[in-house]
Amino acid sequence: MTGTSEAVPAVTLLTLGGTIFMAQGSGDGHAVPDAAAAERLHATLVDGVELTARGIANISSSDVRPHHLREVLEQARAAVDEGADGVVLTHGTDTLEETAFLLNRFWDRQAPLVVTGAMRPASALGADGPANLAGAVHAAVSPSARGLGVLVVFDGEVHLADQVTKASSRSVSAFASAPSGAVGMIDAGQVRLLHRPLPRPAPQAGSLPERFAPVPLLTAGLDEDFALLDALGPEHLAGVVIAGVGMGHVSPAAMPRLRRLLGEGIPVVVATRIAAGGTSTHHYAYPGSEVDLLEAGAGMAGVLPPAKARLLLQVLLADGATPDRIRESFAAYAS
């Protein structure tokens, strides 16, 4: 009788730094990037998985730029094409949800691309980085995660890139998903799905640009007329995203400026600053309401929060999207 051996699952670990690769100073206790912490995490062993680490940067997530994510996308695609069962990316938590969302616009492989990080530095008591990394590696090789696109694994939960948000600036259970909740959980080294998600929007061909066009994100509020827009020239204003009030509303005083921009061919997308519920298309028809904005030519972001709406608009502008295509792209997130 001849024996058979099963292939060992392989995961490529790409690293961009963040708290997971930081340590606290002995004097002031401030957390800063630490090469030794990165080396220790690279050496993390996950039973039954071959882990290959490739460092891209060791920076805070506020310092991540499109060119970093372009490199992540290219290396992740190459790793899967060379035989990796999945890819894990470590990242700071401040903008982790934005990176996951951006990568998900372009991720065109069935293998999972899983983003994770930590809320506590590697030197802290109860550091959560190793457990989060192990969970992400398990998700990257799980058959249940294939075809789900880019995922975020944090504190034993699995989140879809388009739904995940950072819900706490302090807790180790820092991420939540709306409107459906976490798509799964890490259970005994496997991904157990809690619900079956809707099909993903088709990924965009190509890769991220080196730089994004300037799209300011402005917050609506009481008596906010967006006078700042008068001071922005075309070189600083490829589009605008508004974090509206309620279901995606602005002050009537803001409408003349928004109509002017739309008349000049500058796209305006309105999200909501409210955490749950998204924007509407039909509930209200007073000046500055969603119906008024739509009639002026603006688009509504649906369930996308303002930061993700801004990124989607920037991706579409980089691809030369027409106003009709921009509206159609956001319609996929209508609520």
pLDDT at 27 over 50: yes
Banded model confidence at residue 39, pLDDT cuts 50, 70, 90: low
**Across residues 231-245, what is the average pLDDT?**
93
For 43-89, write each residue's pLDDT tens digit: 666 778 999 999 999 888 999 999 999 999 999 999 999 999 999 99
8 Å CB contact between 92 and 60 = yes
Instruction: Tell me the range of 13-27, 111-125, 297-311, 315-329 where mean pLDDT is highest.
Output: 297-311
CATH class of residue range 217-331: alpha beta
Cα 310 to Cα 228: distance, rounded to the nearest angstrom: 18
pLDDT at 294 over 80: yes
Of the candidates 209, 332, 334, the residue with the CA atom closest to the CA atom of residue 272: 334
Cβ atoms within 10 A of the Cβ of 322, count?
A: 10
Terminal CA-to-CA distance of the chain, rounded, Å?
60
- Supply the pLDDT for residue 3: 45
**Across residues 133-152, what is the average pLDDT?**
96
Q: What is the CATH number of domain 10-193?
A: 3.40.50.1170
- Supply the pLDDT for residue 23: 76
Q: Which of 37-41, 50-54, 211-215, 278-282 has the lowest mean pLDDT?
A: 37-41
Q: Which of 38-47, 87-96, 232-241 has the lowest mean pLDDT?
A: 38-47
- Supply the pLDDT for residue 307: 97
- Supply the pLDDT for residue 85: 97
Q: For the chain, which residues make up each domain, given as ranges?
A: 10-193, 217-331
Of the candidates 107, 115, 197, 112, the residue with the CA atom closest to the CA atom of residue 157: 115
Q: Is 291 exposed, middle or buried (0-12, 13-18, 19+ CB in 10 A)?
A: middle
- Supply the pLDDT for residue 1: 39
- Supply the pLDDT for residue 2: 44
Indicate if 217-331 has the same CATH topology as 10-193: yes
- Does the pTM exceed 0.75? yes
- Supply the pLDDT for residue 25: 66
Q: Mean pLDDT for the chain?
A: 91
191-222 b/e (C-beta count within 10 Å ≥ 16 → b): beeeeeeeebeeebeeebeeebbebbbbebee
Cα 277 to Cα 178: distance, rounded to the nearest angstrom: 9
Positions marked catalytic: 19
Higher pLDDT, 246 or 45: 246
Banded model confidence at residue 201, pLDDT cuts 50, 70, 90: confident
